[in-house]
Amino acid sequence: MTQRIGLVVFPGFQILDLVALSVFELANAEAGRAVYELEVLSEHGGPVASTAGVTVDSRAFDRRRFDTLLVAGSTTVPPSSGGLLDFLRRALPRTRRLGSICTGAFVLAEAGLLDGRRATTHWHFARELQRGFPAIKVEEDGIFIQDGPVWTSAGMTACIDLALALVEGDLGLELSRAVARKLVIYHRRAGGQSQFSALLELEPRTDRIQQALDYAKKNLHRNLSVDQLAEVAHLSPRQFSRAFLAETGQSPARAIEKLRVETARILIEEGGQSVDRIAAQTGFSDPERMRRAFHRAFGQPPQSLRRAAARTHAPAM
**Is residue 118 within a helix (H) or strand (E), and if so which, with residue range?**
strand 118-119
Tell how strand 3-8 and strand 36-42 pair up: parallel
How far, in Å, are 83, 109, 160, 192, 234 from residue 80 at the CA level? 8, 10, 24, 28, 56
* Domain coordinates in residue numbering, the chain: 3-182, 198-312
Q: Write out pLDDT tens, residues 101-132.
A: 999 999 999 999 999 999 999 988 999 999 99
Instruction: Supply the CATH classification number for the domain 3-182.
Output: 3.40.50.880
What pTM did the predictor assign?
0.67
Question: From the first residue on, what is the mean pLDDT of each consecutive set of 10 residues in the chain (317 residues)?
Answer: 96 96 97 97 97 96 96 92 96 97 97 96 92 93 89 93 94 91 71 53 79 90 93 94 90 90 84 89 90 83 79 51
Q: Can you tell me the distance from the alpha carbon of 317 to that of 147, in angstroms, rounded to the nearest whole number?
A: 10
Could you give phi then psi for residue 179, rounded to 5 degrees?
-65, -45
Tell me what pLDDT residue 313 has. 52
Whether residue 73 contacts residue 79, with contact meaning beta carbons closer than 8 Å, is answered with no
Q: Write out pLDDT tens, residues 133-156.
A: 999 999 877 789 999 999 999 988
Architecture of domain 198-312: Orthogonal Bundle (1.10)
